[in-house]
Amino acid sequence: MTNSQRFLDTFFNAKVMARYLPDILAGMVVTVELAVLVILTGLAAGLALALLRALAIRPLNWAIIFVVDLFRALPPLVIIVLFYFGLPSLGLTPSGFICTWMSLALVLMAFSEEIPPLTNRTIAITKSTALGSVVAVTEILGQASSAVSNSYNPSPLTMAAAAYLAIFLPVVLLGRWVETRFAWKK
């Protein structure tokens, strides 16, 4: 077997890809659902905080600043893990999907409360849906990781990369268009 054949068999194994394509597609659906929920709730919560801050009630502003700084400072993965493993000690047992959604929405809320150029931040947060795989969310990376473990072949990761590109490249291009279309003229 030549090096190029070995490469193709390792990363583009047609049998493995055919077997796990339905799983990757199911993961794409979960990823899109999670991303949409994160965007809608994160931006709405950020707008609500910005409006509350506009009231200029000093103790309320301090509380908002504390919350915003907290969720900006912590890595999203830490927040996801804290919610997933910490909330059950309070008698709450949300799924990994809910914990990932809440965590990423809170991070987006923290950034959207203060900054006008939200396109890049929104894209970055929605790509973080892959972090949900750590708490058993069966999004693209979770499905691909499972498939790699079962097939002993990284071809599902190649499919996952293609799935992420299919979802997020149009979002990046749309974001670039929006930013240039509505940019401040100097």
Q: Domains of the chain (ranges plus CATH)?
A: 16-181 (1.10.3720.10)
Which pLDDT score is estimated for 23? 96
Which pLDDT score is estimated for 183? 72
Which pLDDT score is estimated for 182? 76
Q: Are 31 and 167 in contact (CB under 8 A)?
A: yes
Which pLDDT score is estimated for 33? 95
Which pLDDT score is estimated for 19? 97
Largest Cα–Cα separation, the chain: 71
The CA distance from 31 to 75, in Å, is 19
Which pLDDT score is estimated for 166? 94
pLDDT by 10s per residue, the chain, length 186: 899 999 999 999 999 999 999 999 999 999 999 999 999 999 999 999 999 999 999 999 999 999 999 999 999 999 999 999 999 999 999 999 999 999 999 999 999 988 786 777 888 888 899 999 999 899 999 999 999 999 999 999 999 999 999 998 998 888 888 878 877 766
Q: How many CB atoms lie within 10 A of CB 166?
A: 11
Q: Are 72 and 136 in contact (CB under 8 A)?
A: no
Sign of CA dihedral 179, 180, 184, 186: positive
Q: Are 37 and 173 in contact (CB under 8 A)?
A: no
Which pLDDT score is estimated for 186? 62
